[in-house]
């Protein structure tokens, strides 16, 4: 008969020595987490913008575009990565594809809402001043839609920071590696807390940066307020 | 976020239910073994801090010895690759693996440090055949394969290769990656990988015999584009643990004795979600030992949730592993 010893080494939730002695590992995972988040939101935005423009063009197209992006969002994230993995392997690309697809539901809706919120009289006035459709879009509609765009970007970024952790199933989960690693190493609390806190701080920081960017991009909203 | 919820919800449930169960369970044992036997409740969970493993006296568990799995093309291109991994298998005993797991899971060393220290002491890297080139070693996402992957990488470095460790996940995902050559080496468990490659759940080709299982694995591996090194003496097998109080109340030390004592169907089993369908978990216990379970509760694979569930009287018996870092050898 074997005995299971239960007198484990101290296993505190907060352990600064864990962070200092594993600094390089943590920074490696954090770097991956940031790269995946930024990559997913940037690629997601680049895809969402044309989709939103397409959806605005006709109500007939809006239904399928919004419906499809919502449908993709309902696929469980674990299943999504498992579906993509046989094609792209155990790479960050696998995680990135999943994250981009998930970001679309938020981004397309917000981009579309932003474009639809541009007042018709503003558009009329611009046309009257001789703006072509290209100039109208880039110089009038897009700037006016920035607040809604940024709101979408902020939600997508925060949710992507959280979703990256699911990438552990292909070995590229950013800080999620620390969280599952801790669970799978006899419930080692220090990495679990480090990974979880890291995610929360990263999400807060990203949200703060985007809020700052929004302020810089929309000086007129503040001028109007004062 | 979703993975965290997966863990946190059962964890919270364990915490909640045990607050209540600790009370009722301990008052139950206070009544003594005689009364519980008569009530048809003989094998209900009994909480307790100390866990004991019941002996697998009829050899239910397969030869899950650690064995290096290698991409066939990589092995062919680098003749020094498999011999270097075999040097690890030769030095790796169950005791050594248990100690390594203790070092990481209990003493909280990093897998890299524990692996490096062990290689330094136990593998004669000077005598290794030299190779070159880049090798990616997959490491799973559990301590044990991560330690093994680091050991493989250290030894491969000593043999002239440039080796890196890449975390992976489930066998369903990493084995195809190994076959495609995305990774070149992955630590494997002999019987489990044999059955996985064999594919058909109805037929059993792996057994408790190491040599027979290797013989069954070789053609399957060839077909899959894989090569396996020598198996080590260290086997990570399923084991079934109960609390010391539970074992003492019933006077059982083996799974056969448990089956004799628990004919009334009051035994509750805890383990990973796949336990009720895997032959070396619930179906094996039922067929080989004639155990009769009142129910099954899903926790993790031999991890903290399962062990906490046994200790706190959630389940009577739960799945643990022979190479568990907290198993005193």
Q: What is the pLDDT of residue A4?
A: 47
B201-224: average pLDDT? 91
Contact (CB<8Å) A90/B239: no
Percentage above 70 pLDDT, chain B? 86
Q: Is A16 on the interface with B (CB under 8 A)?
A: no
DSSP β-bridge partners for residue A60: none
Distance CA A199, CA A167 (A): 14
Instruction: Show Cβ contacts of residue A213 under 8 Å, excluding neighbours closer than 6 positions.
Output: A150
pLDDT digits (tens, 9 = 90+) for A174-218: 999 999 988 888 788 999 999 999 999 999 999 999 999 999 988
Q: What is the pLDDT of residue A224?
A: 59
Give the distance between the most distant pair of CA atoms in chain A.
90
Task: For A28-217, give the CATH class.
Answer: mainly alpha
B257-262: average pLDDT? 89
Q: What is the pLDDT of residue A8?
A: 57
Distance CA B293, CA B56 (A): 17
User: Both ends of chain B: CA-CA distance in Å?
Assistant: 37
Instruction: Please indicate whether residue A6 or residue B113 has the higher confidence score (pLDDT).
Output: B113
Is pLDDT at B26 greater than 80 in this prediction? no
Q: What is the pLDDT of residue A11?
A: 83
Of B7, B108, B167, the CB nearest to A188: B108
Q: Is A164 on the interface with B (CB under 8 A)?
A: no
Q: Is A19 on the interface with B (CB under 8 A)?
A: no
Instruction: Show Cβ contacts of residue B81 under 8 Å, excluding neighbours closer than 6 positions.
Output: B70, B74, B75, B131, B135, B156, B161, B184, B185
B39-63: average pLDDT? 83
Of A2, A18, A162, the CB nearest to B327: A2
B206-228: average pLDDT? 93
Of B50, B110, B180, the CB nearest to A22: B110
Instruction: Please indicate whether residue A86 or residue B86 has the higher confidence score (pLDDT).
Output: B86
Tell me the three-class secondary structure of chain A, residue by residue: CEEECCCCCCCCCCCHHHHHHCHHHHHHHHHHHHHHHHHHHHHHHHHHHHHHHHHHHCHHHHHHHHHHHHHHHCCCHHHHHHHHHHHHCCCHHHHHHHHHHHHHHHHHHHHHHHHHCCCHHHHHHHHHCCCCHHHHHHHHHHHHHHHHHHHHHHHHHHHHHHHHHHHHHHCCCCCHHHHHHHHHCCCCHHHHHHHHHHHHHHHHHHHHHHHHHHHHHCHHHHHHHC
Contacts of B172 in chain A (CB under 8 A): 82
Instruction: Show Cβ contacts of residue B49 under 8 Å, excluding neighbours closer than 6 positions.
Output: A6, B243, B311
Q: Do B174 and B140 contact (CB within 8 A), yes or no?
A: yes
Confidence tier at A226 by pLDDT (50, 70, 90): low
Q: Is A147 on the interface with B (CB under 8 A)?
A: no
Distance of CA B21 to the CA centre of its chain: 28
Q: What is the DSSP letter of B252?
A: -
Ranked by mean pLDDT, which of A31-40, A128-137, B106-115 comes out on top? A31-40
Q: What is the pLDDT of residue B165?
A: 94
Contacts of A177 in chain B (CB under 8 A): 141, 167
Is pLDDT at B40 greater than 80 in this prediction? no
Paired tokens of B173: 């995902």
Question: A170-179, B99-108, B222-231: which has the minimum mean pLDDT?
Answer: B99-108
Q: What is the pLDDT of residue A37?
A: 97
Is pLDDT at B10 greater than 70 in this prediction? no
A-B C-beta contacts closer than 8 Å = 130
User: Both ends of chain A: CA-CA distance in Å?
Assistant: 78
Q: Is A169 on the interface with B (CB under 8 A)?
A: yes
- Give the gap in angstroms from C-alpha B301 to the nearest C-alpha of chain A: 9
B290-318: average pLDDT? 89
pLDDT digits (tens, 9 = 90+) for B148-197: 999 999 999 999 999 999 999 888 889 999 999 999 999 999 999 999 99
Q: What is the pLDDT of residue B327?
A: 52
Q: Do B306 and B6 contact (CB within 8 A), yes or no?
A: no
Chain A residue with CA closest to B1: the answer is A162
- What's the angle, vertex CA B243, arms to CA B318 and CA A4, rounded to 5? 80
Distance of CA A86 to the CA centre of its chain: 24
pLDDT digits (tens, 9 = 90+) for B60-86: 888 899 999 999 999 999 999 999 999
Give the domains, in start order, of chain B with CATH numbers.
2-60+237-321 (3.40.190.120), 66-228 (3.10.105.10)
Distance CA B38, CA B41 (A): 7
* Ranges of each domain in chain A: 28-217
Of A8, A21, A78, the CB nearest to B326: A8
Contact (CB<8Å) B54/A91: no
Q: Do B19 and B313 contact (CB within 8 A), yes or no?
A: no
B22-42: average pLDDT? 44
């Amino acid at each position: 008969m074997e005995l299971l010893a239960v007198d484990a080494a101290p296993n505190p939730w907060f352990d600064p020595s864990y962070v200092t002695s594993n600094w390089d590992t943590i920074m490696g995972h954090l770097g991956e987490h940031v790269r995946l988040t930024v990559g997913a939101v940037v690629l997601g935005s680049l895809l969402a913008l044309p989709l939103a423009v397409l959806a605005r063009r006709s109500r007939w197209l809006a239904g399928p575009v919004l419906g499809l992006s919502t449908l993709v969002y309902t696929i469980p994230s674990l299943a999504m990565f498992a579906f993509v993995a046989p094609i792209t392997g155990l790479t960050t690309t696998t995680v990135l594809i999943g994250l981009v697809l998930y970001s679309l539901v938020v981004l397309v809706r917000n981009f579309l809402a932003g474009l639809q919120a541009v007042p018709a009289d503003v558009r009329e006035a611009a046309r009257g001043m001789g703006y072509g459709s290209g100039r109208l879009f880039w110089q009038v509609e897009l700037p006016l839609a920035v607040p809604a765009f940024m709101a979408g970007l902020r939600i997508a970024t925060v949710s992507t920071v959280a979703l990256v952790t699911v990438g552990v199933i292909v070995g590229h989960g950013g800080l999620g590696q620390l969280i599952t690693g801790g669970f799978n190493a006899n419930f080692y609390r220090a990495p679990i807390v480090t990974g979880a806190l890291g995610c929360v701080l990263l999400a807060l920081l990203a949200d703060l940066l985007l809020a700052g960017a929004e302020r810089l991009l929309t000086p007129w909203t503040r001028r109007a307020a004062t | 976020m979703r993975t965290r919820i997966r863990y946190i919800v059962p964890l919270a449930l364990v915490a909640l239910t045990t607050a209540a169960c600790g009370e009722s369970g301990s008052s139950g044992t206070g009544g003594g073994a005689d009364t519980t036997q008569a009530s048809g409740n003989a094998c209900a969970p009994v909480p307790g801090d100390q866990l004991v493993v019941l002996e697998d006296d009829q050899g239910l568990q397969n030869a899950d010895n650690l064995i290096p799995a290698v991409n066939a093309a990589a092995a062919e291109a680098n003749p020094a690759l498999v011999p270097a991994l075999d040097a690890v298998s030769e030095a790796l005993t169950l005791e050594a693996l248990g100690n390594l797991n203790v070092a990481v899971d209990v003493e909280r060393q990093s897998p890299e440090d524990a692996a490096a220290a062990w290689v330094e002491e136990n593998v004669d890297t000077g005598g290794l055949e030299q190779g070159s080139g880049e090798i990616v070693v997959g490491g799973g996402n559990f301590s044990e394969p991560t330690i093994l992957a680091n050991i493989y990488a250290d030894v491969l470095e000593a043999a002239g290769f440039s080796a890196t460790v890449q975390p992976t996940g489930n066998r369903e995902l990493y084995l195809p990656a190994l076959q495609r050559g995305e990774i070149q080496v992955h630590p494997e468990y002999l019987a489990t990988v044999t059955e996985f490659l064999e594919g058909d759940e109805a037929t059993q080709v792996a057994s408790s015999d190491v040599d027979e299982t290797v013989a069954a694995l070789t053609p399957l591996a060839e077909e899959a584009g894989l090569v396996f090194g020598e198996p080590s003496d260290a086997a990570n097998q399923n084991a079934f643990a109960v609390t010391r109080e539970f074992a003492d109340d019933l006077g059982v030390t083996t799974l056969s004795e448990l089956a004799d004592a628990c004919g009334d169907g009051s035994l509750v089993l805890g383990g990973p979600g796949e336990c009720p369908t895997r032959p070396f978990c619930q179906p094996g216990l039922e067929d080989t030992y004639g155990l009769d379970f009142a129910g099954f509760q899903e926790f993790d694979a031999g991890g903290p949730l399962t062990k906490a569930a046994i200790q706190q009287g959630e389940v009577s018996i739960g799945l643990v592993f022979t190479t568990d870092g907290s198993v005193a050898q």
